[in-house]
A and B are shown apart, each in its own frame.
Chain A
Amino acid sequence: MLATLKYVLLTSLRDRLYVALASMVVAALVVSRLLAESGLVEGRQLSLAYASMSVRGLLVLGIVIFISFHVRRMYETREIETILSRPISRSVFVLSYAAGFMLVAAGLVVPTGVLMAALLQADGVGAWLWSASLMLECVLVVALALFCSATLGSAVASALACLGLYALARLSTFFLDIATSDPGHLTNIPGVGVAVHLLVTLISVLLPRLDLFGQTRWLIYGPDSQWGIGMLAAQTAVYLPVILAATILDLRRKRF
């Protein structure tokens, strides 16, 4: 397991993941800081909003692309066969790789949170809460990316599928709103209204509530009485095993 963690970290350095993402994160923070100067008032809040949204997008994009291409390369170079020929179960293989990718993500998220607090004067406790929630979000994204890249036969397809699932999960509130309210004119078409209702309900049930993670308001106003890290940890704790178990089952099904 330790060897796998070390190997994943080495490949992230080899693929210039840290250099590329760190440069982009720093650029995003600088641009956010500059954009804040053009705000009529509340410049600090404006810079935090731009930084929070862009940094989250960059980290998720970087992690998904890295995992998709990393796993696909393992299949193409038959590296996976070499690893699995050793006395290692497929469950341990998946879990150790997931842990490795999560460690890579932590190496990106933690310095980002510190920079947000130091450079953009985010609320101290809020910055901690935001960073912790971004870490949990990245944990779920790592698992989703691992699942997509293990099940789909192409790196591009798995990256796109994972980003699509991420976008849908981030739209959970939107789907819940539709599911719990009148769908409008569609209800007049026999069968369609019910089908649409079922579809959006299904999407919102199947996907994790990623829309609850990484709230910019924590950086600006600090923690509040709505939801906190406990709920996000609970969401991660119940959803992470689902994706990892699905990945393990898919790998067990495969013949090498």
Chain B
Amino acid sequence: MRVSREVIGVLAVLGLALAGHLEFWQQNAALRAETEIIPVPPSPRAVSAMAFGDRQGLYRVLGHELQDFGDTGGRVTPLLNYDYDRVLTWLRVLDGLDERSDYTMSLAGYLFGQISDPRRAGMMADYIRQRALQDPVRNWRWMAYAVFVARHRAKDMPMALSIARDLAAIRDPSLPVWTRQMPAFVLASVGDNEAASDLMGAILGSATDISPEERNFMNAFIAAHK
């Protein structure tokens, strides 16, 4: 079979172009657009445009992005490399889209609050406290978690005590007794046994809705911290 010059020409161009493409790929395989770990958070007006009317949908998509910002495209970024001022702004932008969800507090507590830098962990504890206080009866568990982050991650006992007092101040019969005892636990953990036992005694003396088992525990706590 005779192959025409035209076909040979086309095959030659195809071969050369393919070789050129492979060479280009080889030279530029490592080339990446520069990406920030966390981009600048959008303004409220930009959020309005990005939502296309569906603010809840945008909330979920952006929340998921914030969760994975540093860990996409094969990257794994330590939390220490994150700009926590931006994280905080992103969390607040998201809160503007949905006030009912726990997603932002989960991100702050379970993810960003686990950083080994106490200062930035403290930023997350304070964020959770402020966010939870918008609806304290519904979010009391998050207040308790903020105490944990402040005490064990931020190592900031004054902040932990302050959040614990906010938690203890929530007045709702559905809350367990230990939410009122939280300041006493924090005080005991910093060695202020007298204050801890006094506080527990005050709760014991004033509360009327405590079960016998809880009363026994509180008496034991007071005895142990005398």
Is A42 in the interface zone, CB < 8 Å from B?
Answer: yes
Partner of A41, one of B57, B98, B102: B102
| Interface membership of chain A positions 16-56, coded 1 if the CB is closer than 8 angstroms to chain B and 0 otherwise | 00000000000000000001001111100110111011000
Interface of A is mostly: helix
Contact B53 A172 (CB under 8 A): yes
Is A109 in the interface zone, CB < 8 Å from B?
Answer: no
Please, which residues of chain B bring their CB within 8 A of the CB of A173?
Answer: 48, 51, 53
Given contacts A49-B57, A172-B53, A173-B51, 14 further A-B contacts (CB under 8 A): A39-B67, A40-B106, A45-B103, A46-B63, A49-B59, A53-B54, A53-B61, A170-B53, A178-B45, A210-B53, A211-B53, A211-B54, A215-B56, A221-B100
Measured between alpha carbons, how far is A177 from B110 in the docked complex, in Å?
35
Contact A177 B45 (CB under 8 A): yes
Residue of B whose beta carbon sits closest to that of A45: B60
Q: How far is the CB of B188 from chain A (nearest CB, A)?
A: 31
Question: With contacts A38-B68, A42-B103, A177-B48 known, is A220 near B53, CB below 8 A?
Answer: no
Please, which residues of chain B bring their CB within 8 A of the CB of A41?
Answer: 102-103, 106, 110
Q: How far is the CB of B221 from chain A (nearest CB, A)?
A: 33
Residue of B whose beta carbon sits closest to that of A211: B53
Measured between alpha carbons, how far is A50 from B60 in the docked complex, in Å?
8
Measured between alpha carbons, how far is A171 from B55 in the docked complex, in Å?
12
Partner of A170, one of B52, B100, B111: B52
Interface of B is mostly: helix
Q: How far is the CB of A149 from chain B (nearest CB, A)?
A: 23
Question: With contacts A40-B111, A45-B101, A216-B57 known, is A35 near B64, CB below 8 A?
Answer: yes
Is A195 in the interface zone, CB < 8 Å from B?
Answer: no
Interface residues of B, count at CB 8 A: 26
Partner of A216, one of B49, B56, B64, B68: B56
Q: How far is the CB of A73 from chain B (nearest CB, A)?
A: 30
Please, which residues of chain B bring their CB within 8 A of the CB of A52?
Answer: 54, 57
CB interface residues, B 33-85, toward A, < 8 Å: 45, 48-49, 51-57, 59-61, 63-64, 67-68
Is B107 in the interface zone, CB < 8 Å from A?
Answer: yes
Q: List 22 interface pairs A-B (beta carbons < 8 Å), by A numbering.
A: A35-B64, A38-B64, A40-B67, A40-B111, A41-B102, A41-B106, A42-B102, A42-B103, A49-B57, A49-B59, A167-B52, A171-B53, A172-B53, A173-B53, A174-B49, A177-B45, A178-B45, A210-B53, A214-B53, A215-B56, A216-B54, A216-B60
Question: With contacts A50-B60, A52-B54, A215-B56 known, is A171 near B106, CB below 8 A?
Answer: no
Contact B110 A40 (CB under 8 A): yes
Interface residues of A, count at CB 8 A: 31
Is A212 in the interface zone, CB < 8 Å from B?
Answer: yes
| Interface membership of chain B positions 90-110, coded 1 if the CB is closer than 8 angstroms to chain A and 0 otherwise | 000000001011110011001
Measured between alpha carbons, how far is A36 from B102 in the docked complex, in Å?
15
Residue of A whose beta carbon sits closest to that of B100: A221
Sorted nearest first, the 10 A-B pairs with minimum C-beta distance are A211-B53, A49-B60, A217-B56, A216-B57, A216-B56, A170-B52, A41-B106, A53-B57, A174-B49, A174-B48
Is A213 in the interface zone, CB < 8 Å from B?
Answer: yes
Please, which residues of chain B bring their CB within 8 A of the CB of A210?
Answer: 53
Contact B56 A220 (CB under 8 A): yes
| Interface membership of chain B positions 7-34, coded 1 if the CB is closer than 8 angstroms to chain A and 0 otherwise | 0000000000000000000000000000
